[in-house]
Every structure is written in structure tokens, then in C-alpha cells.
Amino acid sequence: MPRAALSPDAVVALALETVDEKGASALTLSAVADRAGVATPSLYKHVRGLAELRVLVSARIMDDMAEAAGQAVLGRSADEAVRAFMEAWRAYARRHPHRYAAMLQSPDPGTAEAGERLLGIIRATLRSYGLTDSAAIHMIRCLRAAVHGFSVLETGGAFGLPESLDESYDLLIRIVIAGAHSGPPA
């Protein structure tokens, strides 16, 4: 079905549809052009190439995650906020495993604004613990590593043991909260 009015946002939306349907590795300019009903060169009016499209897709995913996490932690603080944040992150990854896999993990100027928005929510979530400067950075890294690592392993089907993943994730949340209470690293 041809799309008469393409724009960068429309191209990103079509790219996300492709990712949702076929996985992150299926994201190609050709696949998006087919979905749009146009020739691949027509996409170059809206994105400079596949690398830029991946960055734009990643920024949209980060924005969506920040929206979900921001809503989850709104009006909460300390342990309750950390729990809400971690549950929202996991829920997003479970709802959109292919999108989650498509999100770039290395810093890129094109994702800086979206990444900063997500980090701002993490900072706000941890603020009530009184962590500042390097202690806050260490805790942000630990929180991100915990939620990302679990999410990647879970959505990738890497947890094969029979115990409940919800119970394992609850334990992880309690471990992160305990770490936040322990203060700055020695």
C-alpha cells in the first residue's frame, strides 16, 4: 500500500513496524521502502541511510521508554520509585522485545536527547537516596546494567531454569534498592 506523504517521522514509524514484525535484524532500507510502497532511493529524501534510520529508531524507542518510566515513577520516591522504574523498564522490553533489541547501546549524538531524558528519570528516581556526583553515576550504571541485563537475557530466552522469572526480578529489584541504601562506593 503506497504512502503518499512520507516524512522522517513516517519513515521511523514504518521502520518500527518492520522491527516489531520481523525483528531488529530485518531493519533495512529496502524493507522500509517496501512497506511504504516506494522505491528504496525515495527514502533518501527523509533519511541519509540505514545508519541514520537506526539512530532515529533508537531515539524513538528511548523516548517511548522514558515516557513509560516517567509515568511509572511519577509521585513516587525512594524504594517505591526504583521498583516502579525497574518494573516499567522490564515491561517495555517484554512488550516490545524486537524494539528493545533494536535500541543502540553506544552513545550517539542522534540519541543524546532521548538518552538524557531517560537518564534524567533515573537520576530523579535515585535522588531521595542522597547520592551525588560519582556515587550517583555509579548507582545509575548499576541500575541500568541490572535492568538492561535482565531484559536482554529474558527477551532472548536465556533463562532456562524452571524458577519464576518474576521472583528473580523481584530479588534483583531488592538487591538494587539495598545497593542504593548502602551509599557511595568505598
Q: What digits encode the pLDDT tens for the residues 155-167? A: 999 999 999 999 9
What pTM value is reported for the model?
0.93
4 in a structural domain: yes
186 in a structural domain: no
pLDDT tens digit string along 71-88? 999 999 999 999 999 999
- 8 and 95 both lie in a single domain: no
- 14 and 76 both lie in a single domain: no
- 83 and 113 both lie in a single domain: yes
Of 121, 123, 145, nearest in space to 67 by CA: 121
pLDDT tens digit string along 96-148? 999 999 999 888 999 999 999 999 999 999 999 998 889 999 999 999 999 99
- 59 and 95 both lie in a single domain: yes
The pLDDT value recorded for residue 1 is 46
Query: Which CATH number goes with the domain that contains 27?
Result: 1.10.10.60
- 68 and 32 both lie in a single domain: no
- 38 and 74 both lie in a single domain: no
pLDDT tens digit string along 33-73? 999 999 999 999 999 999 999 999 999 999 999 999 999 99
- 35 and 71 both lie in a single domain: no
Task: Check pLDDT > 60 for residue 15.
Answer: yes
Query: CA 18 to CA 160: how far, in whole Å?
Result: 28
Domain boundary among 47, 65, 84: 47
What Cα–Cα distance (Å) separates residue 90 from each residue in 51, 65, 145? 27, 10, 12
- At residue 4 the predicted structure's pLDDT band, cuts being 50, 70 and 90, is low
- 88 and 158 both lie in a single domain: yes
- Domains contained in the chain, number: 2
- 150 and 67 both lie in a single domain: yes
- 115 and 175 both lie in a single domain: yes
Query: CA 60 to CA 74: how far, in whole Å?
Result: 21
Q: Domain of 172?
A: 55-181
- 63 and 30 both lie in a single domain: no
- 43 and 59 both lie in a single domain: no
Query: Which CATH number goes with the domain that contains 95?
Result: 1.10.357.10
